[in-house]
Amino acid sequence: MKYIDTHTHINLRAFRDDAHEAIRRALDADVAIVNVGTQIDTSRQAVNLLEDFPMNVYAAVGLHPVHTFSHDFEDEEEVKFKTREEGFNYEDYKALANTPRVVGIGECGLDYYRLPQDRDHAEIKRMQLEAFLPQVKLARELDKALCIHCRPSEGTMDAYEEIAELMKQVKKDQPDFRFEIHCYTGDLPTALKFVEIGAYIGINGIITFDKTGRSESVVKGIPLENIILETDAPYLTPVPHRGKRNEPSYLPLIAEKIAEWKGESAERVAEVTTANAKKLFKLE
Ligand SMILES: [Zn+2]
Ligand SMILES: [Zn+2]
């Protein structure tokens, strides 16, 4: 496949009625996909989809930080729903992760963005960390890529700095450890800290509509050798499909935007980022 959508969610409810068709459209567009779990049931669904597609479909299993505590949650597209509180059950996730073509652990990490006002933030952060650390351990035990979700509190880089510090320690201990920061929305200096410790940076449709200039400075400022492409579908639909549900077949639009900013051909962006994803996930 020419492209790899390294972070997508055909396993979520938004694709309940047409998951197979959406995957087929991706494969027809030369896009291989990694379906990423957010809880035990969506992780299981990501694994179930592997049975129907013997090639070019992969999965990651993990517990998202916003699902470690219950609250009214607004997702990336500002859809409101109530999350269930789930603890990380090591053995359950390990059993799933041992399925062939499960190539990553996650998405997992820290999310400090708009924590609920009526909850103790120190306690929520502790719960998130308690779910994150065993997932780091599981990735190491099974030699899988770690798929990190990280969102700092508004106007800061706090969660990114904590994750960078943690990963620095892990890399010191195990230099060949492989991980990515998916949906990177931080600033360039923080991105460069991740690059320095060998992280892959997940870039998605945000770059097609971000007017702040931050995405542009990050994409221009980090090496192509550290960039991987993702859609994070059904969220974060790229231009010109804004307002519609996102899907992995739109991935080439992200490669085109990166090519424009980096002054490279879209062909070269596809080639390098696909090679990066293969290294990250240890694909043949
Ligand atoms: Zn995420
Ligand atoms: Zn996601």
Q: How far is CA 189 from the centre of its chain?
A: 20
- In the chain the first and final C-alpha atoms are separated, in Å, by 12
Q: How far is the CA of 149 from the centre of ligand 2 (A)?
A: 7
Between the CA of 232 and the centroid of ligand 2 the distance, in Å, is 5
- In order along its 284 residues, the chain shows pLDDT tens digits of 999 999 999 999 999 999 999 999 999 999 999 999 999 999 999 999 999 999 999 999 999 999 998 877 666 655 666 667 899 999 999 999 999 999 999 999 999 999 999 899 999 999 999 999 999 999 999 999 999 999 999 999 999 999 999 999 999 999 999 999 999 999 999 999 999 999 999 999 999 999 999 999 999 999 999 999 999 999 999 999 999 999 999 999 999 999 999 999 999 999 999 999 999 999 97
**Which residue type occupies 202?**
G
CB within 8 A of 240, min separation 6: which ones? none
- The residues with which 145 forms a beta bridge, in sequence order, are 104
The neighbour count for residue 244, using CB atoms within 10 Å, is 10
Ligand closest to 109 (CA) is 1
Side-chain-side CA neighbours of residue 187 (13 Å): 8
pLDDT at 76: 60
pTM: predicted TM-score of the whole model, two decimal places: 0.96
Query: What pLDDT sits at residue 77?
Result: 57
**216: number of Cβ within 10 Å:** 16
Q: How far apart are CA 198 and CA 176, in angstroms?
A: 9
Task: Identify which ligand lies nearest to the alpha carbon of 65.
Answer: 1
Check residue 71 and give its pLDDT.
74
> Which pLDDT score, from 0 to 100, does residue 84 have?
72
Nearest-ligand number for the alpha carbon of 148: 1
* pLDDT on residue 85: 84
| 57-61 and 80-82 strand pairing | unpaired
Burial tier of 78 (Cβ tally within 10 Å: 0-12, 13-18, 19+): exposed
pLDDT score of 92 = 98
From the CA of 180, the nearest ligand is: 1
Between β-strands 179-182 and 200-203, what pairing exists: parallel, antiparallel or unpaired?
parallel
Q: Please name which of 4, 53, 7, 55 lies closest in space to residue 31, comparing C-alpha atoms.
A: 4
Distance (Å) from CA 54 to ligand 1 centroid? 26
CA of 58 to the centre of ligand 1 (A): 17
